[in-house]
A and B are shown apart, each in its own frame.
Chain A
């Protein structure tokens, strides 16, 4: 066992940290307050290869392994969670499924545009009546002469208004099926943008598919393979969310440590108080536990092993400690932590999303328990 980073990973880590600290971190407050998607930051991230993190080098991508990719998301999370989530969705939920399931023709058509910042990916699965119960989607894909007609609507689609390519899921004759949908196709309409507690730089929109004609070549994978494709992509993105959570709580700890050394009460910095020290020590413990979990799960993925359950565990644990740590670090700030002048106020709101998006904690618990019982021959249902 060797947990040290190799030279390439070290180089990447330094590059990620430099770029995120310099270019993204100073924008976090502005992104939150204006609720404007960070398009300038995303454009700069193209040059860093963040749009093509998982694309193999032979396809002009960065060719990061999963572990290096989690280092990227960690640094993004430390700098700004909205930017981190946008890039996580793009890479995990659109680029990766295209790499794994796309035909040569599909890759030739979309991979470059996705890599160079021309098309941002969005994952269109959730519907009003199908949140946790994703298989209950109602959007239909009806075959006709030249392909399929998509009818329905999707809710809470991250990256919605910025999207250059949707990976959309609909019910076809053979079951739930994945499609690559361009927003410029006739009948695609970007609707209501949700107003959210946090992650305010991420546009989450309703997307209407109003009899959208899709050529057959834009079907990703076989008919009926949609759920499998979605769940596989979600495994990677759940690990990604855990990595973002890791960066977020490292930042929160940093903010609280600095504050506690500067803020004087009872004749000294509050850092000298035992209870503050305990909060800090507990946060660090949770950070290192999460880091180990992310690292091990990434190693499973990189070594070609099954990691679905570990991804659920990382997401469940990561989102829980993200809440607990930001909550405590806000408390260290006292009244200042409740004010928008301090980054911890934003991180507290941003992190609350993690227990909900891409499968609530309750769904992760179900998935984990289902696997445990399945191994013993008992089938459980949600």
Chain B
């Protein structure tokens, strides 16, 4: 069944269109930067963008930062939201279930196919961004991340404790802090390892989104409804994350630690938020999948 779901995923034009579009945004940004040589000053704009002119090999991280806030969650919510509800709308759900495919099995297969999709998108973005970075922006001049000139190392370095306390709200600024924090240069191996860590973290964050959408997908027969419902949950979470009055609930919000993957590019890696991020996503995924399973396995299929 899992193989069948993967075949369905990979043979669906939508999958590839969304991958191409998600990769197209960082490519476009790279083209503009190459032509104009204008980047946001360190500490402003999207994370890592200020550093990519010096080191094209850092562009995958910058590209992930570009697609993370909107592109990735939208794509994931659409695919996960469509998983059960789409089959229900198309009428294929009932035929799958009388084949028979166990309801739990179907749910697991859908989940696996969503995970594969997330990995596919994230890896596609990483590799195209690496190619773009190296070919357009030039290979690493210093072969090191930490030596970007023009970074106010003292100021940002001094703010480390404060940054740690409020990192995600200061996430935008973290892009500037990365290079300044890492006093020691990163070797290519280290950069690869850390990019892999970041990919893993982002994938898990997206699984949180997928779990919300998958759960909603078992409730409604409308794929659109469940995708938009998941996005609405994310927007609500984003609003609360930036709201000082909502400090009490902030540690439990799904998007609270989304930007913690940036900490992989600090030297040494700053683990606290990364661990919390993994933890909170794990809780969301487990709870929502349990709810999805409970709902789906007892549901009357009338579509």
A, B assembled together: no
Which residues of B come within 8 Å of A, CB atoms?
A: none
Could you tell me which A residues sit within 8 Å of B by CB distance?
A: none
